[in-house]
Amino acid sequence: MSATTYHGGLIFDGEVLHDGAALTVQDGTVVALGPETGADSSGDQVDLAGDILSPGYVDLQVNGGDGLMLNDALELDTLRRMGQAHRRLGATHILPTLITNTLAKTEATIEVTKEAIAAGVPGIAGLHLEGPHLSVARKGAHDAALIRPMEDSDVLMLTAAARDLPALMLTVAPENVTVDQVAALVEAGAVVSLGHTDADFATCTAYFEAGARSVTHLFNAMSQMGNREPGLVGALLNSGLASAGLIADAVHVHPATIRNAWAAKQGMGEIFLVSDSMAPAGTDQAEFTLEGRRIARRDGRLTLEDGTLAGADLDLTTAVQVMCDQVGVPLAAALRAATSVPAALMGLGKGIGRLEVGAASELIRIRSDLSGCAAV
């Protein structure tokens, strides 16, 4: 199969935005990235016409897509359709996310995800379990009746899942999970993320020290930063260890708040972008249900009947656009937050979230005005 060379636009490699460069790919593997002058001219040539070539997005919080919610359709075909829908939106690797549910459904979700990985279902990089070990006080759209403490049997199930899956993220709250349980989960390979919690600064800092390395949808459903009590927000911004997912839709978090958090974040941990997308992703669906509760889609929001935000009506190209146009983040930094930063947090393979010579990479072409993208 002949090589294909892309040129005539910006090329983002996961870290750096290259101008005047060319990328050559053969059989899905990057074989060259360098100056446009002197690039391979023997194969197919693709003029980007000013667009941006990038590795596909890595989305660590995906509750649904293509009209389906993972919670309501625990089947291999659901994961296949979710992967396809988000691939069309630019996310080539996703963590399907189960919202707080019963033990039986949690076990079933782990099994169907293992099945999808074994079958090589495109786009499925692992699993995110958001709950049920959260705080009722910060439940958001989660069902309070299903929230409960983590027990020894849960730890055994989750540590086994962490060993069996290529990537497992667990959103937990200190109110219902102990420091020792976090340490055991981390030892098994899970990425523990604090979220849906009212815990104070000192408690959250202790959980980061125990191995928690992430925060779920920063600012939403958590203790906020005050003058005398910094809460989880302050603990995250102060931590050099932990990263944080962010729903950058200018609905869940004000752009000015994002700007201040971006500037304040300390250490190696970084802020990354998530869609927190629900069933409507990739469709024109106007409403759907979550465990029998109606959720309406209107004006860029998804809400329960009482007005509570329930996930987001967002794709990562739009999130990148918000970060650039409303927050003022440089394009390369915004793209990092949607690609290499989440990939590195989860320890995903070579070529995921990055363009590396010798590695297979899935590419997307982003319009120069950030109004959308397409698979390459």
Burial of 42 (0-12, 13-18, 19+ CB in 10 A): exposed
β-strands 168-172, 191-194 pairing = parallel
What phi and psi, each to the nearest 5 degrees, are found at residue 95? -110, 100
Q: Across-strand partners of 47?
A: 7
Eight-class DSSP state of 319? H
Closest CA to 318 of 9, 90, 44: 90
Is residue 129 within a helix (H) or strand (E), and if so which, with residue range? strand 127-130
- Find the Cα–Cα–Cα–Cα dihedral 369, 91, 222, 188, rounded to 10°: -150
Contacts of 227 (CB under 8 A, 6+ apart): none
Eight-class DSSP state of 356? -
Q: Residue 274, Cβ neighbours under 10 Å: how many?
A: 31
Q: Tokens for 352, please give them.
A: 């995921």
Gap between the Cα atoms of 186 and 294, Å rounded? 36
Active site residues: 276
Q: Tell me which residue has tokens 């049997």.
A: 153
Strand ranges of the sheet holding 21-26, from the earlier edge strand across to the other edge: 29-35, 21-26, 4-7, 44-47
Q: Tokens for 107, please give them.
A: 């076990």
Q: Tokens for 38, please give them.
A: 């002197």
Q: Tokens for 252, please give them.
A: 């869940």
